[in-house]
């Protein structure tokens, strides 16, 4: 198949200028952004995207969980090919994670729109851009919330009732940024023909291999837990050591146990505790309760299950050692799964036609495509992350790679829209 929507310098310059504008919203001093879900900064990026799409003739709609769509009618009455990612960020996060994918989708869809206007051709499917609500899961857990509601993996009511640490619900936070629509925009089963997403790799594989494009063929599995370590509040000076039930001591042992677990399994297990809340968190008080968020990931479902069992045994020992009780519950889990082989093949054909160096990759991070692939044919693409840095202000991808990624995504969208 020939290239239908060729790249040009004007389009590249427009993409980079828009990325600079977007990156200024919620900018942090060292080049990152802070735009957690449904905060004012998230609201500002969504408003900016909405105007950008409206100016170019997209119909902008929000659904009840805050997913924002830009619908482009190219083939009236037909289903849509969706492309997108997320505009929300981690606290002090990078400016590329998610935002690049949404902007890339908007530019790719707009190039397609102009192409069809020029040629007068009608594709088989319509095209839509989407910003999935709360992919990061930092303010409201779990991650990938908007896409999970869209695909039916999470009930809408559960998502809307989820609270942040201040007790604010998703529903209230969305209303505060004018981010909630009144109904369905698209039905995942009926209205979506395919989904495409481009994202920074967030790892080093592409950078090391010198390839510009990663074709995601599978995903690591993940187990995430909420944990409470419960002790009893006491005086740090007056209480004898033997009498203490120090929740923070118990939590510290859990953190160490997690790291030792990863060390035991080598490179096929990643573990961390990224969040810890101490109560009452006062200098002269032995902690009565600590909440932790645990994250275990592996390319192997079996290895993850085994590591989980080892951890369970160790937690029982820690309960005795620190004289605390430990409760944990799954907050989010997904299996190691494959992406659609036809999607990988389509992306490989596009990359070959455009002469772009590519390789297959297995994503370790979760993406909205992790949900979408369960219900519609999905293509997931990566562009390189310099030194693999992500969820940090120093996250970086070169302008050249950003532009090449949009070029590939445009052609992928064109082919998906042609069915
Ligand atoms: C989200 O990006 C995750 O990998 O948990
Ligand atoms: Mn992301
Ligand atoms: Mn992220
Ligand atoms: Mn992610």
Q: Kindly state if the Cβ of 365 falls inside 6 Å of ligand 1.
A: yes
CA end-to-end span of the chain: 13
Q: Residue 7: its pLDDT value, please?
A: 79
Q: Which two tokens stand for residue 178?
A: 């004018």
Ligand nearest to the CA of 199: 2
As beta bridge partners, residue 235 has: 285
As beta bridge partners, residue 379 has: 196
Q: Kindly state if the Cβ of 145 falls inside 6 Å of ligand 1.
A: no
Ligand nearest to the CA of 93: 3
* Residue among 197, 221, 365, 385 whose CB has most ligand 1 atoms within 8 A, to mutate: 365
388: left (phi over 0), alpha (psi -120 to 50) or beta: left
DSSP string of 364-401, one letter each residue:
SS--HHHHHTTTS-EEEEEE--GGG--SSTT----HHH
137 CA: nearest ligand 1 atom:
1
Q: In whole angstroms, what is the distance from residue 415 CA to residue 419 CA? A: 6
**CA 219 – ligand 1 centroid, Å:** 11
Ligand nearest to the CA of 220: 1
DSSP string of 196-264, one letter each residue:
EEEEE--SSHHHHHT-SEEEEEEE-EEEEEEEEEE-B-EETTTS-GGG-B-HHHHHHHHHHHHHHHHHH
What's the pLDDT tens digit per position in 6-60?
Answer: 778 899 999 999 999 999 999 999 999 999 999 999 999 999 999 999 999 999 9
Q: Which residues are annotated as a binding site for Zn(2+)?
A: 86, 97, 136, 199, 391
Nearest CA to ligand 1 atom 3: 366
Q: Kindly state if the Cβ of 93 falls inside 6 Å of ligand 1.
A: no
Residues 6+ apart with CB under 8 A from 323: 231, 244, 245
Q: Residue 3: its pLDDT value, please?
A: 56
Return residue ranges of the chain for CATH 3.40.630.10: 9-219+339-417
Place of tokens 């310099």: 386
Residues 6+ apart with CB under 8 A from 370: 144, 147, 219, 334, 337, 363
Q: What are phi and psi of 252, to 5 degrees?
A: -60, -40
What's the pLDDT tens digit per position in 279-317?
Answer: 999 999 999 999 999 999 999 999 999 999 999 999 999
Kindly list the protein residues that place their beta carbon closer than 5 angstroms to ligand 3, a single-atom ion. 97
Nearest CA to ligand 1 atom 1: 366
As beta bridge partners, residue 293 has: 226, 275
Q: Kindly state if the Cβ of 143 falls inside 6 Å of ligand 1.
A: yes
Q: In whole angstroms, what is the distance from residue 200 CA to residue 413 CA? A: 18
CATH number belonging to domain 221-334: 3.30.70.360
Ligand nearest to the CA of 98: 2
As beta bridge partners, residue 232 has: 245
The secondary element (H helix, E strand) that includes residue 318 is helix 301-322
- Determine the angle formed by the axes of helices 9-23 and 40-55, rounding to 10 degrees: 150
Place of tokens 């992919």: 135
Q: 205, 361 in Cβ contact below 8 A? A: yes
365 CA: nearest ligand 1 atom:
4
Q: In whole angstroms, what is the distance from residue 371 CA to residue 343 CA? A: 15
Kindly list the protein residues that place their beta carbon closer than 5 angstroms to ligand 4, a single-atom ion. 365
**CA 97 – ligand 2 centroid, Å:** 5
Residues 6+ apart with CB under 8 A from 37: 66, 88, 133, 134, 136, 138, 139, 140, 145, 170, 173
295 CA: nearest ligand 1 atom:
5
Q: Residue 419: its pLDDT value, please?
A: 86
Residues of the chain with pLDDT under 70: 1-4
Is ipTM beyond 0.90?
A: yes
Q: Residue 8: its pLDDT value, please?
A: 83
Return residue ranges of the chain for CATH 3.30.70.360: 221-334
Kindly list the protein residues that place their beta carbon closer than 5 angstroms to ligand 2, a single-atom ion. 97-98
Q: Which two tokens stand for residue 266?
A: 């080598």
Q: Kindly state if the Cβ of 32 falls inside 6 Å of ligand 1.
A: no
Nearest CA to ligand 1 atom 5: 366
Q: Residue 194: its pLDDT value, please?
A: 98
* Residue among 91, 144, 272 whose CB has most ligand 1 atoms within 8 A, to mutate: 144
Q: Which residues are annotated as a binding site?
A: 86, 97, 136, 199, 391
DSSP string of 4-55, one letter each residue:
-S---HHHHHHHHHHHHHHHTTTB-TTS-B---TTSHHHHHHHHHHHHHHHH
Q: Kindly state if the Cβ of 366 falls inside 6 Å of ligand 1.
A: yes
Q: Residue 303: its pLDDT value, please?
A: 97
Q: In whole angstroms, what is the distance from residue 175 CA to residue 405 CA? A: 34
Ligand nearest to the CA of 89: 3
Q: What are phi and psi of 360, to 5 degrees?
A: -80, 145
* CATH of 9-219+339-417 among 3.40.630.10, 3.40.390.10, 3.30.1330.20, 1.10.40.30: 3.40.630.10
Q: In whole angstroms, what is the distance from residue 73 CA to residue 96 CA? A: 28
């Amino acid at each position: 198949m020939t290239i239908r929507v060729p790249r040009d310098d004007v389009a590249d310059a427009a993409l980079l200028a828009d990325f600079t504008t977007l990156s200024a919203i919620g900018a942090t001093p060292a080049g990152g952004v802070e735009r957690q879900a449904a905060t004012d900064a998230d609201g500002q990026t969504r408003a900016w995207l909405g105007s950008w799409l409206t100016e170019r003739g997209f119909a902008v709609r929000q659904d009840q969980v805050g997913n924002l769509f830009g619908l482009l009618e190219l083939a009236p009455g037909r289903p849509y090919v969706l492309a997108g990612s997320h505009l929300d960020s981690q606290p002090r996060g990078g400016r590329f994670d998610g935002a690049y994918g949404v902007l890339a989708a908007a530019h790719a869809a707009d190039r397609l729109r102009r192409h069809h206007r020029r040629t007068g051709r009608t594709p088989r499917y319509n095209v839509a851009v989407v910003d999935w609500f709360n992919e990061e899961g930092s303010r409201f857990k779990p991650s990938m919330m908007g896409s999970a509601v869209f695909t039916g993996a999470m009930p809408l009511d559960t998502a809307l009732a989820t609270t942040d640490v201040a007790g604010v619900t998703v529903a209230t936070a969305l209303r505060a940024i004018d981010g909630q629509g009144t109904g369905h925009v698209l039905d995942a089963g009926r209205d979506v023909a395919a989904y495409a997403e481009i994202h920074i790799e967030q790892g080093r594989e592409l950078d090391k291999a010198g390839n510009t494009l990663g074709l995601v063929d599978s995903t690591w599995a993940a187990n995430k837990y909420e944990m409470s370590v419960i002790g009893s509040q006491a005086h740090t000076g007056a209480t004898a050591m033997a009498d203490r039930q120090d929740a923070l001591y118990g939590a510290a042992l859990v953190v160490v146990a997690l790291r030792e677990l990863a060390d035991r399994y080598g490179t096929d297990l990643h573990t961390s505790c990224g969040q810890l809340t101490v109560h009452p968190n006062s200098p002269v008080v032995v902690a009565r309760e600590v909440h932790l968020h645990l994250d275990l990931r592996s390319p192997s479902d079996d290895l993850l299950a085994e590591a989980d069992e080892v951890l369970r045994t160790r937690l029982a020992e820690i309960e005795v050692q620190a004289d605390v009780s430990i409760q944990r519950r799954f907050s989010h889990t997904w299996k190691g799964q494959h992406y659609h082989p036809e999607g990988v093949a389509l992306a490989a054909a596009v990359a070959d036609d455009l002469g772009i160096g590519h390789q297959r990759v297995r994503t370790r991070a979760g993406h909205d495509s992790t949900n979408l692939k369960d219900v519609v044919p999905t293509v997931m693409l990566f562009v390189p992350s310099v030194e693999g840095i992500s969820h940090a202000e120093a996250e970086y991808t070169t302008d050249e790679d950003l532009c090449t990624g949009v070029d590939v995504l445009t052609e992928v969208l064109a082919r998906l829209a042609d069915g």
